[in-house]
Structure 1
Amino acid sequence: MVPSTQSGAWHSALASEPRRRVLAVLEESAHPVDAVTVAAAVGVHVTTARFHLEHLEAAGLVSREVARSGRRGRPQVLFRATVAPVPVGEAQQRLTHALASVIGDDSDGGRARAERAGERWSEQLTTAASAAEHDGALAGPTPVLLRALTEIGFEPELRDETTIALLACPFRAEARALPDVVCSVHLGLLRGLARSEGDTGDVGLRPFVQPDLCLVDLPAARRTAE
């Protein structure tokens, strides 16, 4: 099992898109390369390349070695990618980011296809069936949304009859990097779940109203039929 501290270091190091490109250069190279070569391949200044290489090295994703040429002067420092096991969660994050990056190349930033993907996701959830009995004082799709969002890991909190606060997001890093795609998937999921309960209103999503808070706007207040 990979220690959580190591997994956190990998995640922090790979949160930077230029740093991922630096690592990709090393992974694709058959031999160790120096910072000058990395800088030229990525298109950054050599000082910037060294900065990213040091972060990757600190995370255990890159190792360095000194080339002994036999000449006088400062020896050449070379870098290579370190083969390391990737934790399941980290692998899933990389896959999510890779898929979102491809969709994000669409002319609309990937929003339309991402929303359709979220709607497909909603069809796969069994939450609607398990929530056929509407608990509490609310009717309509609200209990379904709360159950689904809880199961996925959003930590939803009903603020009032028209607003659900999302206090957590299992895809937050990906959403920050590619909000058009990731947040549109979540919007499609919400709308699909609402429609599964016969609601034709337009559920809305307000991403990152605060750094760690998103809000779901319900179409209208829903009260238990008297």
Structure 2
Amino acid sequence: MTDDASTSAALASPARRRVLDAVRGATEPPTAQQLAGELDLHVTTVRFHLDQLEQLHLVERTAGRTGRRGRPSVHYRAATLGPDAARDQMIQALAEALAASGAAGRRESTAAGRRWADALPLPDGGAHVAVAEAFERLGFDPQVSGDQIRLRACPFRDAASRHPEVVCQVHSGLAERIVEQVAGDAVDVRLAPFVEPGLCILTLAPKGGLHAA
């Protein structure tokens, strides 16, 4: 399982996300006991979730000062973000903002994908080859099979799983614009997100063919 997939799976637990949000929102690093009281959870449950979050490098331990002898209390704070984590949080924030805009946000997401395509070097070959090459460079691990391009990885999986109406629309717009650049309006594009865990499918068909399917 990839790091993105592991993080997505770990944060699928509502209780774990509440613990993480509480740590991130605290003005001072809390203890497990303090979090348990705030969230109305058993302290053992909170410690379990903190251990999982620590393994994913989302939180880290810090020693508290008690002013007394003995072992210092263990507090938790949000882990210092590396460039990848900071990027992921920014993508998540942008996705949430666009998702809140409803249909307008979906249109803007598609337009963003089309602008993204314009900024990429135009691949050689027909529509399927051009789209597959572009998505390969971006880390989607595409596999061409007939009219379909199977996207077996997603570098934006966490944000896409929470807001497919935004992130997947960006990817759809990206594919649509690449197809336009190499085939004009002769080919239709349809993206089916998460047909299986970790798999999205792009279908490219002659104009009107997708509507008949």
TM-score (norm 2): 0.73
Q: CA deviation at 1:121?
A: 0.9
Q: Which amino acid aligns with 1:81?
A: R
Equivalent residue pairs, number: 198
Q: Which residue of structure 2 lines up, in the alignment, with residue 184 of structure 1? A: 169
Give matches, 1:91-106, under 5 Å: 91-106=86-101
Q: Is the 8 A contact 1:14 1:20 kept in 2?
A: no
Give matches, 1:107-146, under 5 Å: 107-108=102-103, 110-127=105-122, 130-131=123-124, 134=125, 139=126, 141-146=127-132
Equivalents in 2 of 1:32, 1:23: separation in Å? 12
RMSD, matched Cα = 3.5
Residues 193-202 or 46-55, more deviating: 46-55
More helix by share: 2
Superposed CA deviations along residues 68-119 of structure 1, whole A, max 9, x for unmatched, are: 477xxxx9955231553x3332322222122112211122494222112111
Q: Which amino acid aligns with 2:41?
A: H
Query: What is the aligned-residue identity percentage?
Result: 30
Equivalents in 2 of 1:15, 1:101: separation in Å? 20
Equivalents in 2 of 1:8, 1:175: separation in Å? 15
User: Where does the alignment leave 5 or more consecutive residues of structure 2 unmatched?
Assistant: 208-213
Cα distance change, pair 31–152 in 1 and its aligned pair in 2 (3 A): closer
Q: Point out the structure with max Rg over C-alpha.
A: 1
Cα distance change, pair 15–90 in 1 and its aligned pair in 2 (3 A): farther
Of residues 180, 186, 194 in structure 1, which corresponds to 2:179? 194
TM-score (norm 1): 0.69
Q: Which residue of structure 2 lines up, in the alignment, with residue 81 of structure 1? A: 77
Equivalents in 1 of 2:79, 2:191: separation in Å? 40
